[in-house]
Amino acid sequence: MSLNVIILAAGQGKRMHSALPKVLHPLAGKSLLRHVIDAARALHPACIVVVTGHGGEAVREAMAAPDIAFALQEPQLGTGHAVMQAVPLLGAAATTLILYGDVPLTPIDTLKSLVGAASGGMAILTAELDDATGYGRMVRSGAIDGERPASGAIDGERPSPGRITRIVEHKDASPAERAIREVNSGIMAVPTAYLKDWLSKLSNNNVQGEYYLTDIVPLALADGVAVESATAPHAWEVSGVNSKAQLAELERVHQRNIATALLEAGVTLADPARIDVRGLLSCGQDVRIDVNCVFEGDVVLGNDIVIGPNCVLKNVRIKAGTRVEAFSHLEDAEVGAHCRIGPYARLRPGAQLDEHVHIGNFVEVKKSVIGAGSKANHLAYIGDSEVGKKVNIGAGTITCNYDGVNKFKTIIGDGAFIGSDSTLVAPVTIGAGAYIGAGSTITKAAPGGKLTLTRAKQLTLDAWKPPQKKSS
């Protein structure tokens, strides 16, 4: 079935205390609204209309895409009013799904079951909450007015719930209505043609003086359209973000869900409560991840990989058998098989390591290709370089790639040995099998197979005496 999707995102989010529009706050590295748009896209809708208001310009800019239309709601006169602004942009699809831009974690399957429940009319996504304060309550026949439920219950069976008759907002609700625990998530699927008609009949005659979308329920019943519900299996699926505390809570829910999925796929996590995935992490077999690691963007780990504690990996691919030791930071990098990275290593964008490479503590690699079996085990900077195979880069070695304006390349041939504390002033080439004496500053090509060094001669001054304090 083809769908229109409307995403309501005009609300201000005062309680976030932020200059950033609420729906642009990130959860797991992705804005709330982006989560909702991604869920909408997974349903392959005919159109997606985002209703903006507060910070509308910023929201439009952040979300601009060919498949997304924007409607401006100014001023914000309620959820019904918000949907009205989207109506002129709706596609021809028979059913319109209404989502909230600040409810980021509704699973695709839950949305599908809602849309399925609307196949014979309209359907509302509801949830049972222990504390329903603030939410609209689902009023069902028999529940409040002493009416009997529409479907008679057989003795001894739990009576089936009555039909939905209306939704009452918390602020408009009586004490008896406030006792209802089934709440309106706000997410609903509605026949498009009827929706347009019902919206035109809404009034704002209520405590808040708003046009309530929820008031379409009695209008549907009056038109003989069935009003069904789908129940979200977990409260978090329909939880919205109104404050930083709620944002943090949903972040933890989402991270727990990701950790559970990783465990189920066979990944070993030292502590499922201490891993953060802000993007996509895909793991081969027998991957072990220690505590407090953060994965951002697309991270692909092959088989038999160990990630030590407190590592940050962003857009990284690592091949089988590699160990990344504690406190390493890898970004936009590729690491071959059986490498050893860290502890305290930094791979910056464009670092490409072949297999069996060792990058040790306080070594920084940027935009450089490093050949198989090469090692830089301590305190080095390798930037804009091509390093061959089995090269040994001594402690304190620096490629001086930058003259303050331009960057230049350093090329080091296979099997070269760079003595400790060498500075290689690019552009410069070190030949295969060359040795560079410790402490050298290399500004010209160093030939292969030979020892090159630049070093002041060591002197000892026999006549020298230590300074004496002058007597005054």
Q: Are 386 and 405 in contact (CB under 8 A)?
A: no
Smallest distance, ligand UD1 to C-beta of residue 123, A: 15
The residue number with the shortest CB distance to ligand UD1 is: 136
Q: Are 338 and 327 in contact (CB under 8 A)?
A: no
Should residue 167 be labelled a site residue for ligand UD1 when binding is judged by CB under 6 A? yes
Should residue 78 be labelled a site residue for ligand UD1 when binding is judged by CB under 6 A? yes
- What does the buried/exposed string (b/e) look like for 316-344 if buried means 16 or more CB atoms within 10 Å of the residue's CB? bbbbbbbbbbbbbbbbbbbbbbbbbbbbb
Should residue 139 be labelled a site residue for ligand UD1 when binding is judged by CB under 6 A? no
Identify the H or E element spanning 358. Answer: strand 358-366
Nearer to ligand UD1, 13 or 371 (CB): 13
Identify the H or E element spanning 37. Answer: helix 32-42
For residues 332 and 351, what is the distance between their CA atoms, to the nearest angstrom?
7
Q: Which residues pair with 330 in a beta bridge?
A: 313, 347
Catalytic residue among 54, 81, 356, 378: 378
Should residue 82 be labelled a site residue for ligand UD1 when binding is judged by CB under 6 A? yes
Applying CB under 6 A, among 56, 101, 360, 415 the residue interacting with ligand UD1 is 101
Should residue 184 be labelled a site residue for ligand UD1 when binding is judged by CB under 6 A? yes
Residues 6+ apart with CB under 8 A from 102: 9, 11, 13, 22, 23, 32, 33, 240, 241, 242
Smallest distance, ligand UD1 to C-beta of residue 24, A: 12
Site stretch for ligand UD1 (CB under 6 A), options 95-103, 190-198, 288-296, 409-417? 95-103
For residues 106 and 384, what is the distance between their CA atoms, to the nearest angstrom?
45
Smallest distance, ligand UD1 to C-beta of residue 176, A: 17
The closest of 109, 69, 122 to 91, measured between CA atoms, is: 69
Applying CB under 6 A, among 16, 36, 114, 183 the residue interacting with ligand UD1 is 183
Site stretch for ligand UD1 (CB under 6 A), options 58-66, 212-220, 293-301, 442-450? 212-220
Q: How far is CA 295 from CA 60, 62, 318, 452, in A?
A: 28, 23, 13, 43
Smallest distance, ligand UD1 to C-beta of residue 265, A: 33
For residues 134 and 6, what is the distance between their CA atoms, to the nearest angstrom?
23
Q: How far apart are the first and last CA of the chain?
A: 102
Applying CB under 6 A, among 136, 191, 413, 419 the residue interacting with ligand UD1 is 136
Nearer to ligand UD1, 185 or 368 (CB): 185
Nearer to ligand UD1, 139 or 293 (CB): 139
Applying CB under 6 A, among 100, 295, 381, 435 the residue interacting with ligand UD1 is 100
Both tokens assigned to 15: 């309680």
Applying CB under 6 A, among 45, 104, 121, 186 the residue interacting with ligand UD1 is 186
For residue 427, the 8-state DSSP code is S
Nearer to ligand UD1, 212 or 435 (CB): 212
Smallest distance, ligand UD1 to C-beta of residue 48, A: 15
Should residue 55 be labelled a site residue for ligand UD1 when binding is judged by CB under 6 A? no
Should residue 25 be labelled a site residue for ligand UD1 when binding is judged by CB under 6 A? no
Should residue 360 be labelled a site residue for ligand UD1 when binding is judged by CB under 6 A? no
Q: Which residues pair with 442 in a beta bridge?
A: 424
Smallest distance, ligand UD1 to C-beta of residue 52, A: 8
- What does the buried/exposed string (b/e) look like for 347-374 if buried means 16 or more CB atoms within 10 Å of the residue's CB? bbebbbbbbbbbbbbbbbbbbbbbbbbb
Site stretch for ligand UD1 (CB under 6 A), options 210-218, 278-286, 355-363, 380-388? 210-218
> Restricting to residues 286-315, which ones interact with ligand UD1 according to CB under 6 A?
none
Both tokens assigned to 18: 């932020």
Applying CB under 6 A, among 3, 5, 6, 8 the residue interacting with ligand UD1 is 8
Should residue 213 be labelled a site residue for ligand UD1 when binding is judged by CB under 6 A? yes
Q: Are 398 and 418 in contact (CB under 8 A)?
A: no
Nearer to ligand UD1, 11 or 373 (CB): 11
**213 alpha-carbon distance from chain centroid:** 31
Q: Are 289 and 281 in contact (CB under 8 A)?
A: no
Both tokens assigned to 364: 């920084």
Should residue 104 be labelled a site residue for ligand UD1 when binding is judged by CB under 6 A? no
Q: Is 378 a catalytic residue?
A: yes
Q: Residue 81 is which amino acid?
A: H
* Beta strands 26-27; 30-31: pairing state: antiparallel
> Restricting to residues 214-243, which ones interact with ligand UD1 according to CB under 6 A?
214, 240
Smallest distance, ligand UD1 to C-beta of residue 294, A: 29
Q: Measured over all CA atoms, what is the biggest interatomic distance in the chain, rounded to whole angstroms?
A: 114
Should residue 11 be labelled a site residue for ligand UD1 when binding is judged by CB under 6 A? yes
Q: Are 428 and 441 in contact (CB under 8 A)?
A: no
Should residue 198 be labelled a site residue for ligand UD1 when binding is judged by CB under 6 A? no
Should residue 51 be labelled a site residue for ligand UD1 when binding is judged by CB under 6 A? yes
- Cβ atoms within 10 Å, residue 417: 17
State the catalytic residues: 378
Residue ranges binding ligand UD1 (CB under 6 A):
8-11, 51, 53, 73, 76-79, 81-82, 100-102, 135-136, 167, 169, 183-186, 212-214, 240
